[in-house]
Amino acid sequence: DTGVSQNPRHKITKRGQNVTFRCDPISEHNRLYWYRQTLGQGPEFLTYFQNEAQLEKSRLLSDRFSAERPKGSFSTLEIQRTEQGDSAMYLCASSLGGQGGNEQFFGPGTRLTVL
Amino acid sequence: GNSVTQMEGPVTLSEEAFLTINCTYTATGYPSLFWYVQYPGEGLQLLLKATKADDKGSNKGFEATYRKETTSFHLEKGSVQVSDSAVYFCAFPGSARQLTFGSGTQLTVLP
């Protein structure tokens, strides 16, 4: 399977704990995106990488959130001191660079539940 | 700022009925427009897209036409099937190609 993969698929944690999610994009894609989706809503943009550089961060990405893409391949999203409001589906997407409306390919998501 | 307004759901139709899901957008300039679909238990998939005004995107019997005058990109299908039951999202890219999504429309097609 050469699509976008995400791990874990589900994570249950207690409030105050740290969690880390991983995204493996399609191998030739240099752009990588993180989104958050809550029930009944569309995905909301969190952050974006071009290769290893983090070029854009949404105001939704509080200080407790950090994302990395150290070698321009896989990416991790860490949430420190989780809160119940962090419960959501975290989606990763990747695309080729360039102009125009390049299609973003989405992974299956990581569902986070904070108790 | 950029935003997408989608027809609220849920929408329930009988098989072979005609489907319209409305989508209007507010954006700077004339971005490409997308419809994504999320089938139960699966990730988001691109359904169709249009890159400029008056373009028509089509796939799997679904169509949407980029209307610059009305800033709309309504999704239509002439005859829906049970397998079309899913959540449909209208979206367009921002300056960094990040997508702005509508809130989604849940479609249920009954046999």
Cross-chain residue pair A56–B4, CB shorter than 8 Å: no
Q: How many CA atoms lie within 13 A of A15 on its CB side?
A: 4
The answer to whether A45 and A35 have CB atoms below 8 angstroms apart is yes
Does any CB of chain A come closer than 8 Å to the CB of residue B88? no
User: What pLDDT, on a 0 to 100 scale, did the predictor assign at position B63?
Assistant: 97
- CA–CA–CA angle A25, A28, A29 (5° rounding): 55
The answer to whether A91 and A36 have CB atoms below 8 angstroms apart is yes
User: What pLDDT, on a 0 to 100 scale, did the predictor assign at position A28?
Assistant: 87
User: What pLDDT, on a 0 to 100 scale, did the predictor assign at position A98?
Assistant: 66
Q: Which two tokens stand for residue A24?
A: 């493996």
Checking if the pLDDT of B31 tops 90, the result is no
The answer to whether B2 and B92 have CB atoms below 8 angstroms apart is yes
Q: What is the pLDDT along chain A (115 residues), one digit of tens a residue?
A: 579 999 999 999 999 999 999 999 999 899 999 999 998 889 999 999 999 999 988 888 889 999 999 988 999 999 999 999 999 999 999 998 765 557 899 999 999 999 9
Q: How many CA atoms lie within 13 A of A100 on its CB side?
A: 8
Q: How far apart are CA B16 and CA B38, in angstroms?
A: 20
Q: Which two tokens stand for residue B26?
A: 């507010």
Q: Band of the pLDDT at B3, cuts 50, 70, 90?
A: confident
Find the residue in A nearest to B32 (Cα): A101
- Write the residue in B34, B42, B45 that is nearest to A101 by C-beta: B34
Checking if the pLDDT of B7 tops 90, the result is no
The answer to whether B82 and B64 have CB atoms below 8 angstroms apart is no
Query: Which of these ranges, A31-45, A90-104, B12-26, B48-62, has the smallest mean pLDDT?
Result: A90-104
Average pLDDT over residues B83-96: 90
| Ramachandran angles phi, psi of A61, nearest 5° | -85, 90
